[in-house]
Amino acid sequence: GAVVSQHPSWVICKSGTSVKIECRSLDFQATTMFWYRQFPKQSLMLMATSNEGSKATYEQGVEKDKFLINHASLTLSTLTVTSAHPEDSSFYICSASPLRDRNTEAFFGQGTRLTVV
Amino acid sequence: AQSVTQLDSHVSVSEGTPVLLRCNYSSSYSPSLFWYVQHPNKGLQLLLKYTSAATLVKGINGFEAEFKKSETSFHLTKPSAHMSDAAEYFCVVSVGAGTALIFGKGTTLSVSS
């Protein structure tokens, strides 16, 4: 199946610093990628939709100035957590689909475990 | 609006016994439905998907699910649990091209020897 690579797989940062997470589709192009957040023992919650060449669409309650998304090419989307705080500690996962077809499965990155100390 | 309800937050079975993870959905459109598995601190892996073809869907690792429109259900089953099946399972619905997936809250499957 298609491969989505997410980097880094884990990161520890100090409170107040920024962290960038990359999501790459390795063998297909994706005009749209999705960013999810998962708190311990909870489900995945959609944070934002990353659109190639245009602004991301954020879900209600997600601060766009805090979670900066850039989708500069058809194979790369980045999520930057700015001025991170301990409450931002979470598991972040991206997904992408090769085709704009709801019947095509989404492929997920490995996830990034962010710990803010 | 679309939603997914996983009826059990935790299911415990003995190795070799059947597994049943329940999922109900609500959708204004004809949905595509998926089951994903997540092992601790790992990403998500697709088990199987329903996309308006056969209502009984067979997936990987011996799992299968049956789409029942009259009951708006998509329960996941496996005849015989294995220790390696212990993980978190998510029932997921997709309703449009290029749209995000809607996840259920997840069911933790524990398998004892």
Of residues B6 and A51, the one with the higher pLDDT is B6
Whether A12 has a pLDDT exceeding 90, the answer reads: yes
Q: Give Cβ neighbours of residue B60 (< 8 Å, ≥ 6 apart).
A: B46, B47, B48
To the nearest whole Å, the CA of A97 is away from the closest chain B CA by: 8
* Radius of gyration for chain A, computed over Cα atoms and rounded to the nearest angstrom: 13
Q: Measured between CB atoms, which of A32, A91, A105 is closest to B98?
A: A32
Of residues A51 and B107, the one with the higher pLDDT is B107
Query: What is the average pLDDT across A16-25?
Result: 96
pLDDT tens for chain B, residues 1 to 113 = 778 999 999 999 999 999 999 999 998 777 889 999 998 877 788 899 988 778 999 999 999 999 999 999 999 999 999 999 999 999 998 866 566 788 999 999 999 99
Q: How far apart are CA A67 and CA A3, in angstroms?
A: 24
- Name the nearest CA neighbour of A39 among A84, A81, A86, A89: A89
Query: What residues of chain B lie within 8 A of the CB of A48, using their CB?
Result: none
Whether A2 has a pLDDT exceeding 80, the answer reads: no
Query: What is the average pLDDT across A30-55?
Result: 88
**Cβ atoms within 10 Å, residue A47:** 25
Kindly report, residue by residue over A55-92, the tens digit of the pLDDT: 899 999 999 999 999 988 889 999 999 999 999 999 99
Query: What residues of chain A lie within 8 A of the CB of B46, using their CB?
Result: 1, 105
pLDDT of residue A16: 96
pLDDT of residue A104: 63
**Contact assignment for A102 to B103 by CB distance below 8 Å:** no
pLDDT of residue B31: 83
Report the percentage of chain A scoring pLDDT > 70: 94
Which pLDDT band, with edges at 50, 70 and 90, does A30 fall under?
Answer: confident
pLDDT of residue A32: 86
Query: What residues of chain A lie within 8 A of the CB of B36, using their CB?
Result: 108
Whether A99 has a pLDDT exceeding 70, the answer reads: no
Which of A105, A114, A115 to mutate: most B Cβ within 10 Å?
A: A105
Whether A98 has a pLDDT exceeding 70, the answer reads: yes
**Contact assignment for B96 to A102 by CB distance below 8 Å:** yes
Cβ atoms of residues B77 and A71 within 8 Å: no
Q: How far apart are CA B74 and CA A6, in angstroms?
A: 30
